Amino acid sequence: MLNFYPGPSKVYPEVRTYLVDAYDEGIMNTPHRGEQFVQMSRAVVNSIKRKLNIPQDYYIFFASSATECWEILIQSLTRHKSYHIYNGSFGEKWFEYAKKLRPQAEGFQFDLNEPMPVSDLHISPDTELICFTQNETSNGTQVGPTTILNLHNRFRDTLTAVDATSSMAGLNLKLIKADIWFASVQKCFGLPPGLAVMACSPRAIFRAKKMAERSHYNSLVPMYEKMLNYQTTHTPNELNIYLLKRMLEDRPFIKGIEQDLTDRAQDLYTFFEQFADFRPLVENEEVRSKTVITLAGNEKLVEDAKKRALHHNIRLGNGYGPWARNTFRIANFPAILDEEYEELKRFFLHYYA
C-alpha cells in the first residue's frame, strides 16, 4: 500500500528495525525515572535541536499530541484570553478549544487564498498569547517565513504559539521568530502517532513560571521542572521517543530535507496542472503548502479517484472540514520516496489524463 494520507502517514521503513532494537535494548519496559530513559531523553533533545535547527536556549517537551499542546498552552500561559488567526479547520478547532477554557479568547479568520493579513490585525494589549497554524493540514495552505517575521515584529511583546504539525521535521522553520512551536510525529517525522514535540522559548518559560499554574496533569511548570533532568511528569511514550531518537540520528539536517520537499512539491503542483478535472484548491501559489497538496474537483470524480486509487493499493487523503467532499489531499512528507510519487503520477495519467 502506497500511503499518501497526511497523517497518520507513511512511517520510515527503518522503523521496523528500530522496533526490534527497542525490544532487544529493553526500551519497552525501562523505568521512566531510570538512567536509561534519562540518557535517551537527553540524546533526543540534543538531536532535535541540532537536526531541526532549534535555538539552543529553547526547551523541548514531550506530549501525547498537538491537541494536548493546545490545552497545555492555554491553561499554563493565559489567564484571560488568547488570539487565534486561522483559515482552516485545525486553526479554528484550536480557537474553539481555547474558548472552552478562556471564554474571552478572540479569533480572526482570513481567506485561504490570501496571506495572513498582519497589518489588518487588531490585537488588544491584554492578549496573552497569539496562536496560528503554520501549515493548515485541512486545506493545504501555509504561513510563510516573511509573514511570520512581520507578525513577530508587529507584536513582539506578546507571546506567539505556532502549530507546525504538518511541517515540523519537513521545513526549516525559523523558530526564533515565535515563542512556542509544536507538532505531532505522525506526519513529517515519519513515525507512528502518540507523541508530540514542543519547543518553548525562555520567554515562554518565564511566563509559565510567573503564572505558576500547577492544577493540571499537563501543566507547563511541572513539565519544565521535570525536563531539567530530562524526565516527564508522567509515564511517557518511551517507545516512540526511542523511535524519534533513532530517526533523527539517521536523517540529514533539515535544510536539505526542506529543499527536497520544496522541489517535489513544485513538481507535483506542475504535474496536476495538466488535468482538467483536478486543480489545486489553493489558487495563490504564494500560500500553497509544500507538505500537503490539496486538489479539488467534482465531488463524484473525487470519490471515484479515491476508490480507484485504493483498488490499486494507493491511499489518498480524504478532504477535511468544509472541503471534505470536493477535495483529496496528498502528503509530501520526507518518509515517502520519489519513486512512490512516480507511481502515483502513472495512476493519474492512466485514468484521468
CA distance 65 to 51: 21
Provide the residue range defining the domain that includes 271.
2-8+253-352
The reply to whether 168 and 273 lie within a common domain is no
The reply to whether 222 and 277 lie within a common domain is no
The reply to whether 123 and 46 lie within a common domain is yes
**SS3 state at 267:** helix
pLDDT of 302 above 90? yes
Query: CB-based contacts of 231: which residues, under 8 Å, 6+ apart?
Result: 32, 33, 37, 38, 41
Residues 72, 63: contact at Cβ < 8 Å? yes
The reply to whether 80 and 183 lie within a common domain is yes
The reply to whether 55 and 193 lie within a common domain is yes
The reply to whether 234 and 92 lie within a common domain is yes
Backbone dihedral angles phi then psi of residue 127, each to the nearest 5 degrees: -70, 130
The reply to whether 160 and 63 lie within a common domain is yes
The reply to whether 340 and 192 lie within a common domain is no
| 318-351 b/e (C-beta count within 10 Å ≥ 16 → b) | bbbeebeebbbbbbbbbbbeeeebeebeebbeee
pLDDT of residue 346: 98
CA distance 331 to 294: 9
Average pLDDT for residues 57-82, to the nearest whole number? 98
CA dihedral 89, 95, 97, 98 (to 10 degrees): 170
Q: Which three cell numbers stand for residue 60?
A: 523541548
pLDDT of residue 350: 96
pLDDT of residue 313: 98
The reply to whether 296 and 168 lie within a common domain is no
Average pLDDT for residues 145-163, to the nearest whole number? 97
**pTM of the predicted structure, to 2 decimals:** 0.97
pLDDT of residue 353: 86
Q: Which residue has the cell 520567554?
A: 203
DSSP-derived pairing of the beta strands 129-133 and 159-163? parallel
State which of 201, 221, 250 marks the end of a domain: 250
pLDDT digits (tens, 9 = 90+) for 86-119: 999 999 999 999 999 999 999 999 999 999 999 9
The reply to whether 140 and 241 lie within a common domain is yes
Average pLDDT for residues 333-346, to the nearest whole number? 98
CA distance 313 to 3: 8
CATH of the domain at 112: 3.40.640.10
The reply to whether 188 and 303 lie within a common domain is no
The reply to whether 124 and 162 lie within a common domain is yes
CA distance 323 to 299: 10
pLDDT digits (tens, 9 = 90+) for 118-140: 999 999 999 999 999 999 999 99
Residues 244, 44: contact at Cβ < 8 Å? yes
pLDDT of residue 17: 98
pLDDT of 326 above 90? yes
State which of 193, 225, 250 marks the end of a domain: 250
pLDDT of residue 315: 98
CATH of the domain at 260: 3.90.1150.10
Q: What is the domain count for the chain?
A: 2
pLDDT of 295 above 90? yes
pLDDT of 220 above 90? yes
Instruction: For residue 91, give Cα distances in angstroms to 34, 112, 260, 285, 310.
Output: 38, 12, 27, 20, 29
Picking from 124, 133, 88, 79, the residue whose alpha carbon sits closest to that of residue 106 is 124
- Write down the mean pLDDT value for the chain: 97
